[in-house]
């Protein structure tokens, strides 16, 4: 993050220098003194605050709070928060963006310590709070980490001694719920203890944080090794680490597991932080990481079992990153359900297999494996966009219940409790 910020600032600086603005003192790494005042800038009355602006042919440049921001003029007009352009009760835009002249420029500019005031050719006035501009500008966004997360291997997770939340406090207090969600957002897994071992109580838990995502497996599902569905999950066999529902266009966000009964041996659950492994790939072989973000793959679920007839296809790369800041947000990894690869030519396929191997090696390092035995009363929530799960083979009667949750609604709950999500 640090290096990224630095290089970004350096390139802003270079751009400015290229345009002939002089008199910069560059005292790396003291960011406060990175952008002292330049000769051709318009300043506010109080120069010590260091805010200044410059109007260019195709953009408006603003320096404030140690940030040099560059704004497109249409963007500035489009984001006007005046009562006629924006409804602050509904937080919706009233302005018809298509009515804005694409060559628009402000007629006059006024800047003081807190506010930028633009008057447009038709007389309309837009006032921006400078802090709002920092928070919402591209340059301001680039400086902040979107989602705080702790990537883990077994040792990191165990050392963190992440506390489980009690059923009662999860259901009845905002504090319990918030603690739970905070852990879940940081690590991608979280446990609730002392849950009565029934499907109804598990459902209550799920509904406290989200909407249940109904799928071809039902709303709440309940499964044993009876092979009632056409999938290995419904057997006693071991399952290697994977994420679920890779064959959906949008894989399920969260998976909830509650083991209601197990009379037998084996059956431990394996958890692996996919983002930790991907991060290792990025460090060791960046070009392979990139390939895993680029090659689109199909995953498929074909079922013709009794009454169940399904054919699901999901397309997307193994690693999904936001194009604007390269932050990883979803890993799609299921070697069982991966379909025929026919989206890229043979030479790319070969490089893709090598990259997939590198990732698999990281995912399979014993030190990255966290094993738990699920027990009645202990409910596990897994971020299915980040953490892979698997299971050991088992003997005897084993009953699991659970459900999938919609990710947007879990994050919604977290934000309403004041968490960054
Ligand atoms: C959880 N539950 C037993 C309902 C479904 C299991 C789905 C298994 C599928 N191979 C996948 O990985 O998506
Ligand atoms: O049986 C288990 O512990 C998990 C099986 C599985 O991967 C699943 O249901 O998604
Ligand atoms: Fe699974």
Do 120 and 260 belong to one domain? no
Contacts of 25 (CB under 8 A, 6+ apart): 33, 36
Taking CA atoms only, the protein residue closest to ligand 1 atom 12 is 244
Per residue in 350-363, pLDDT (tens digit) is 999 999 999 999 99
Instruction: Supply the pTM of this predicted model.
Output: 0.87
Q: Which two tokens stand for residue 62?
A: 């603003």
174 lies in the same domain as 205: yes
Q: Which atom of ligand 1 is nearest to the CA of 221?
A: 4
CATH of the domain at 293: 3.60.130.10
Using DSSP's 3-state secondary structure scheme, residue 86 falls into: strand
Note whether residue 148 is domain-resident. no
Residues 186 and 266 in one domain: yes
Nearest CA to ligand 2 atom 3: 391
Asked whether residue 11 is assigned to any structural domain, the reply reads: yes
CA distance 332 to 29: 39
Q: Which residues, including other chains, have CB under 8 Å from residue 20's CB and lie 6 or more apart?
A: none
Domain boundary among 142, 176, 199: 142
Q: Does ligand 1 lie within 6 Å of residue 231's CB atom?
A: yes
Let me know if residue 174 belongs to a domain.
yes
Same domain, 275 and 348: yes
Statement to judge: residues 202 and 350 lie in one domain: yes
Q: Measure 338 CA to ligand 2 centroid, in angstroms.
A: 17
What pLDDT is attached to residue 49? 62
Regarding beta strands 165-166 and 189-193, do their DSSP bridges make them parallel or antiparallel, or are they unpaired?
parallel
- Beta carbon of 225 within 6 Å of any ligand 1 atom: no
In a domain, residue 147? The reply is no
Are 405 and 212 a contacting pair, CB within 8 Å? yes
Q: Does residue 421 fall inside a structural domain?
A: no
User: Do 296 and 412 reside in the same domain of the chain?
Assistant: yes
Tokens 């018809």 correspond to 96
Q: Is the pLDDT of residue 14 over 60?
A: no
> In the chain, how many domains are there?
2
Contact 252, 403 (CB under 8 A): no
CATH no. for residue 38?
3.30.2020.30
What average pLDDT does the chain have? 90
Ligand nearest to the CA of 246: 1
Within-domain flag for 149: no
Q: Give the separation between CA 195 and CA 190, rounded to whole angstroms.
A: 14
> 233 alpha carbon to ligand 2 midpoint, in Å?
5
Mark whether 106 and 225 lie in a shared domain: no
In a domain, 128, yes or no: yes
Residue 90 lies in a domain: yes
pLDDT of residue 142: 76
CA 245 to ligand 1 centroid distance, Å = 7
pLDDT digits (tens, 9 = 90+) for 105-148: 999 999 999 999 999 999 999 999 999 999 999 998 877 766 78
Q: Which atom of ligand 2 is nearest to the CA of 239?
A: 7
Range(s) of the domain holding residue 398: 154-416
What is the phi/psi pair of residue 51, to 5°?
-110, 140
Point out the domain boundary residue: 142, 168, 195.
142
Final residue in a domain of this structure, among 142, 175, 194: 142
């Amino acid at each position: 993050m640090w290096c990224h910020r630095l290089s970004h600032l350096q390139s802003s600086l270079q751009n400015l220098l290229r345009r002939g603005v002089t008199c910069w003192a560059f005292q790396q790494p003291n960011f406060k003194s990175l952008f002292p005042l330049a000769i051709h800038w318009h300043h506010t009355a109080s120069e010590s605050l260091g805010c200044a602006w410059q109007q260019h042919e195709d953009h408006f440049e603003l320096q404030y709070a140690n940030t040099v921001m560059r704004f497109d003029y249409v963007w500035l007009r489009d984001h006007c928060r005046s009562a006629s352009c924006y409804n602050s009760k509904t937080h919706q835009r009233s302005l018809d963006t298509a009515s804005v002249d694409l060559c628009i420029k402000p007629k006059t500019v006024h800047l003081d310590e807190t506010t930028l005031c633009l008057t447009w050719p038709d007389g309309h006035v837009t006032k921006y709070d400078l802090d709002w501009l920092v928070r919402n500008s591209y340059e301001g966004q680039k400086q902040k980490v979107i989602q705080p997360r702790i990537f883990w291997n077994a040792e990191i997770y165990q050392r963190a001694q992440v506390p489980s939340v009690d059923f009662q406090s999860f259901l009845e207090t905002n504090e319990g719920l918030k603690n739970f969600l905070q852990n879940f957002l940081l690590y991608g897994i979280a446990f609730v203890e002392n849950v009565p071992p029934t499907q109804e109580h598990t459902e209550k838990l799920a509904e406290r944080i989200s909407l249940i995502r109904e799928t071809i497996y039902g709303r709440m599902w309940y499964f044993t090794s009876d092979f009632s569905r056409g999938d290995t999950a419904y057997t006693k066999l071991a399952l290697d680490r994977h994420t679920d529902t890779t064959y959906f266009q949008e894989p399920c966000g969260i998976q909830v597991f509650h083991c209601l009964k197990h009379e037998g041996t084996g059956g431990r659950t394996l958890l692996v932080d996919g983002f930790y492994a991907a991060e290792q790939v990025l460090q060791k072989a960046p070009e392979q990481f990139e390939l895993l973000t680029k090659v689109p793959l199909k995953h498929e679920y074909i079922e013709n079992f009794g009454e169940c007839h399904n054919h699901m296809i999901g397309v997307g790369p193994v690693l999904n990153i936001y194009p604007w800041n390269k932050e990883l947000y979803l890993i799609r990894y299921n070697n069982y359900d991966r379909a025929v690869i026919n989206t890229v030519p043979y030479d790319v396929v070969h490089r893709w297999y090598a990259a997939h191997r590198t990732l698999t090696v990281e995912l399979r390092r014993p030190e990255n494996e966290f094993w738990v035995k699920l027990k009645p009363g202990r409910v596990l929530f897994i971020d299915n966009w980040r953490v892979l799960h698997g299971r050991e083979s088992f003997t005897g009667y084993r009953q699991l219940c659970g459900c999938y949750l919609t990710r947007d609604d879990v994050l919604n709950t977290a934000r309403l409790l004041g968490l960054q999500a």
